[in-house]
């Protein structure tokens, strides 16, 4: 699988990213702080193509993250 992959689960941005050792990690946006946190449970939602998971382009993903962070800052 080519990485990174960008998606949203119930409007919560998440991404699958490559690690320096060649593995991968799943990072999701904390909707209270706007910071990234590790949550591998989102990988199942991505891989199963759950109806709750929407695939995003990098540009769409960045726009969603920016909008959420802007909203959090008030």
What pLDDT sits at residue 50?
66
- Ordered by start, the domain boundaries in the chain are 5-73
Q: What is the pTM of this model?
A: 0.88
Q: 18, 3 in Cβ contact below 8 A?
A: yes
- Reduced to 3 states (helix: H, G, I; strand: E, B; else coil), residue 21 is coil
pLDDT per residue as tens, the chain (74 positions): 789 999 999 889 999 999 999 899 999 999 999 999 999 999 888 888 767 889 999 999 999 999 999 999 98
What pLDDT sits at residue 69?
97
Q: 60, 52 in Cβ contact below 8 A?
A: no
- 53: β partners: 9
């Amino acid at each position: 699988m080519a990485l990174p992959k960008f998606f949203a689960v119930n409007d919560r941005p998440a991404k699958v990213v490559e690690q320096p050792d060649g593995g991968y990690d799943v990072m999701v946006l904390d909707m209270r702080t706007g910071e990234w946190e590790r949550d591998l449970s989102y990988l199942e939602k991505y891989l199963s193509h759950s109806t709750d998971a929407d695939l995003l382009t990098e540009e769409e993903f960045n726009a969603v993250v920016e909008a959420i962070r802007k909203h959090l800052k008030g």
